[in-house]
């Protein structure tokens, strides 16, 4: 607990310094490369407040509603950055950011929580029914909905690809809400397992309801403003460091966007609440694949360059491999530190590959 309080102090200092520095740098026109670092670190600090406020609301609203809140606002950073990138015409960065979110959640977020939780506990078990339900949706969203337009893009015109993408996007959004209705309404509690932690009902939120809502709204607005400036630095940063747009989207934006979820998943694993860690990692991936990405596809029709739901070959293969590896490891409802290390090593291999593109 002391370590968490110390980290909260660090994040408070980051936000206290980062927000005014971000504003000053924007108005005074400071060097883009330096400001990229300032904006990124500031978003990390703000993401921690989004994570803490949604964690408090999770305790107040209950685990299922709370889990949905945590995933939704945890993905707010990626969605915000991607909308501004979409408006600026950086379609490759948007697709790369979505790819990075899927890969990062399945390999880095899940892997780090399994690894660190597995060091403290020899064996951690989670609800296998929820896991298999989510993994089935992962197969649909990535293997079916992402592969299908990729294959047909070579056979039809660009306009037809856009209409195909829009149709698939609408179907994915409808199925995502149907999945929420299934889990939260018609089959709520049907596949519930006994809680491993008997003291869960004594858990108290860090902040009250209204304080959490105010902090959440303030942090979300601040993230939106800083993200707008972050997007403007992409070209200069790519030239300065020799990074490609794909690497910035898949690795840099994904790490920044998933920071709050990663910290939350690790913390839950250390409390032996591995069910929550799995829900964060897989649930966040599902929301990115079945809601955030389709929403961005539909929003792109409002801008000059509509975005088709067609990923680059290397990005699509990376997502497919991540999904298949996650299914093999999560499907048994049991995990340990070695499985977490396997997922993290896969992420490192993919990151090295995209660095050289």
CA distances from 258 to 241, 254, 264 (A): 23, 6, 10
Q: Compute the Cα dihedral for 329, 331, 332, 337 and give only its sign.
A: positive
Query: What tens digit of pLDDT does each residue of 95-143 get?
Result: 888 999 899 999 999 999 999 999 989 888 888 888 888 888 888 888 8
Q: How far is CA 67 from the centre of its chain?
A: 13
Q: What is the mean pLDDT of the chain?
A: 84
How many domains does the chain divide into? 1
| Residue 151 in this model has a pLDDT that exceeds 80 | yes
Task: Please tell me the distance from the alpha carbon of residue 39 to that of residue 47, in angstroms, as a whole number.
Answer: 12
Beta strands in the chain (DSSP E): 124-125, 334-335
Domain boundaries, position 346:
2-196+203-355
Query: What tens digit of pLDDT does each residue of 180-234 get?
Result: 888 878 877 666 655 444 444 566 888 888 888 888 888 878 887 887 788 788 8
Q: Domain containing 76 — which CATH number?
A: 1.20.1420.30
Q: What value does the mean pLDDT take over residues 156-177?
A: 92
pLDDT tier at 247 (50, 70, 90 boundaries)?
A: confident
Neighbour tally for 302: CB within 10 Å: 9
């Amino acid at each position: 607990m002391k370590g968490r309080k110390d980290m909260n102090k660090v994040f408070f200092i980051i936000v206290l310094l980062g927000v005014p520095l971000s504003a000053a740098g924007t108005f005074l026109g400071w060097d883009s490369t330096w400001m990229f670092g300032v904006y990124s670190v500031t978003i990390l600090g703000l993401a921690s407040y989004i994570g803490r406020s949604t964690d408090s609301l999770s305790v107040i609203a209950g685990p299922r509603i709370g889990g949905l809140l945590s995933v939704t606002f945890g993905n707010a950073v990626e969605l915000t950055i991607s909308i501004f990138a979409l408006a600026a015409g950086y379609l490759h960065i948007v697709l790369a950011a979505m790819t990075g979110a899927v890969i990062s959640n399945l390999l880095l977020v899940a892997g780090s929580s399994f690894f660190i939780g597995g060091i403290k506990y020899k064996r951690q078990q989670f609800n296998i029914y929820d896991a298999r339900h989510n993994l089935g949706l992962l197969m649909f969203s990535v293997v079916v909905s992402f592969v299908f337009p990729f294959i047909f893009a070579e056979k039809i015109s660009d306009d037809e690809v856009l209409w195909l993408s829009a149709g698939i996007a609408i179907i994915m959004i409808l199925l995502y809400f149907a999945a929420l209705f299934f889990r939260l309404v018609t089959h709520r509690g049907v596949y519930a397992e006994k809680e491993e932690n008997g003291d869960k009902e004594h858990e108290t939120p860090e902040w009250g309801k209204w304080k959490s809502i105010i902090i959440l709204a303030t942090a979300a607005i601040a993230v939106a403003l800083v993200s707008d400036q972050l997007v403007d630095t992409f070209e200069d940063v790519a030239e300065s460091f020799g990074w490609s747009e794909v690497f910035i989207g898949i690795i840099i934006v994904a790490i920044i966007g998933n920071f709050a979820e990663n910290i939350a998943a690790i913390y839950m694993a250390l409390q032996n609440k591995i069910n929550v860690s799995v829900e964060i990692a897989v649930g966040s991936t599902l929301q990115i694949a079945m809601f955030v990405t389709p929403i961005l596809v539909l929003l792109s029709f409002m801008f000059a360059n509509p975005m088709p739901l067609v990923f680059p070959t290397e990005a699509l293969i990376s997502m497919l491999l991540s999904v298949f590896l996650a299914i093999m490891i999560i499907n048994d409802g049991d995990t340990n530190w070695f499985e977490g290390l396997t997922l993290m090593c896969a992420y490192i291999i993919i990151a090295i590959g995209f660095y050289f593109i």
